[in-house]
Amino acid sequence: MIRYSSAGIRNCGHDAINEFKLLVKEAHKRGIEVVMDVVFNHTVEGNDKGPILSFRGVDNSVYYMLAPKGEFYNYSGCGNTFNCNHPVVRQFIVDCLRYWVTEMHVDGFRFDLASIMTRGSSLWDSVNVYGIPIEGDLLTTGTPLRSPPLIDLISNDPILRGVKLIAEAWDTGGLYQVGIFPHWGIWSEWNGKYRDIVRQFIKGTDGFAGAFAECLCGSPNLYQGVPMISMGDEYGHTKGGNNNTYCHDNDVNLCTLLISGTLLTHECESLGLSDFPTADRLQWHGHAPGLPDWSDKSRFVAFTLIDSVKGEIYVAFNASHLPVIISLPKRPGYRWEPLVDTSKPEPFDFLSSDLPAKEIAIKQYAPFLDANLYPMLSYSSIILLLSPDENA
């Protein structure tokens, strides 16, 4: 998107390239990795009635999945499907990825509709793809492959196997591979089940409290999963009902405090575990400490995590339409203090250390915190931290 560059098309676009390199360099200086969202599942050329802009004019039958009479397979939902496992096409994809790593120094890629990259190419035959015949090879165009040549090539490439590879493990043709994407031990997956369950619970749908808690633990029923944080309509960072805001260069996609909040994961050792949390450090709660409610009608989930840096953190989600006063776990010599409360107006929803009125805001909670209680409004979440009780 060259329009994001201040240089525009000056110097044939080379200045824009240098700007992007500088962006990545400055991000790295601040400990921020840059992961590119890439779309190798379709192009803008549409279906068989679409325009001839690039690949169709070069070699239509090579770059697209075609039926015998020339119709376009549409596993992307955009009119055509890139013929990813054709030898020419997969080499093109690998060359593109290598360029962004070696020249632009990005740290990895998120592959849109990555399941398309596991489908057999049109004009499939094992000699064409693997170089050798395979007995009983009767695959038709678009058949899911157990060992897709493109995924194999990327996974074993000396440059690409060292970066982050994240698959959106489904496509619009019905192929759903969350938890079973062919990963060669190095791919991660876009956890669509996590997204769907979290949204169901947060909006107050009954029957999701237990599944939501499982998601919070990293989806151990599927794999080790660190969720990407980019909140939308759930609460706090509304997108006005738009679930696909890729083309908006405005405040719909801007979230500075949320990014600042992710720095808490660096400060809290317990939020960056390399394994699933166990009962040694994790305790579930309900409206009262130690009494979680996993019933189908439950819309409240809370937990505490022992943390070697912060001591302990308390996190709670009230997905009910009703407010509730919760009892907090007693910790002699310490008291709970709020860090995040999504029910509060900005900037008091995030009591960052540099908030000028932070102490005044905390004092407003004092009557409840003195009694080891906390008032939660409907459809809100909180994060509390332990601090020494000066009055103890």
Residues 235-268 pLDDT 10s:
456 677 776 777 887 777 765 555 555 556 566 7
Residue that is written with structure tokens 């949204």 in the block? 199
> 1-15, 115-129, 158-172, 378-392: which has the minimum mean pLDDT?
115-129
Confidence at 360, pLDDT banded by 50, 70, 90: confident
Which position has the higher pLDDT, 152 or 362? 152
112 among known catalytic residues: yes
Question: Is the CB of residue 60 less than 8 Å from the CB of residue 73?
Answer: no
CA distances to 189, 223, 306 from 220, rounded to whole Å, are: 13, 5, 20
Location of structure tokens 């009780």: 389
Query: What rounded mean pLDDT belongs to the chain?
Result: 87
Question: Is the CA virtual torsion 328, 331, 333, 336 positive or negative?
Answer: negative
Between 391 and 57, the more confident residue is: 57
Q: How does residue 314 score in pLDDT terms, banded at 50, 70 and 90?
A: very high
Measured CA to CA, the distance from residue 116 to residue 144 in angstroms comes to 8
Catalytic residue among 33, 107, 112, 390: 112
pLDDT at 234: 44
Residue range 65-75, pLDDT digits in tens: 998 888 899 99
Computed from CA positions of residues 247, 33, 189, 231, in that sequence, does the dihedral angle turn out positive or negative? negative
pLDDT of residue 379: 93
Cβ atoms 222, 179 nearer than 8 A: yes
Q: What is the mean pLDDT of residues 43-51?
A: 92
Q: Is 26 a catalytic residue?
A: no
Q: For position 105, what pLDDT does the model report? A: 98
Amino acid 213 reads A
Which of 19, 37, 107, 168 is catalytic? The answer is 168
Nearest residue to 163 via CA among 238, 213, 111: 111
Collect all residues with Cβ–Cβ distance below 8 Å to 253 and sequence separation of at least 6: 239, 245
Q: Give the residue from 70, 71, 73, 89 showing the smallest Cα distance to 81.
A: 73
Instruction: For residue range 197-210, list pLDDT tens digits in order.
Output: 988 999 899 999 99
Q: What is the pLDDT of residue 233?
A: 43
Mean pLDDT calculated for residue range 80-94: 96
CB-based contacts of 164, cutoff 8 Å, min separation 6: 33, 35, 107, 108, 109, 188
Q: Are 110 and 78 in contact (CB under 8 A)?
A: no
Contact yes or no for 50/124 (Cβ under 8 A)? no
CA distance 279 to 283: 6
Asked if residue 150 lies in contact with residue 207, where contact means CB atoms within 8 angstroms, the answer is no
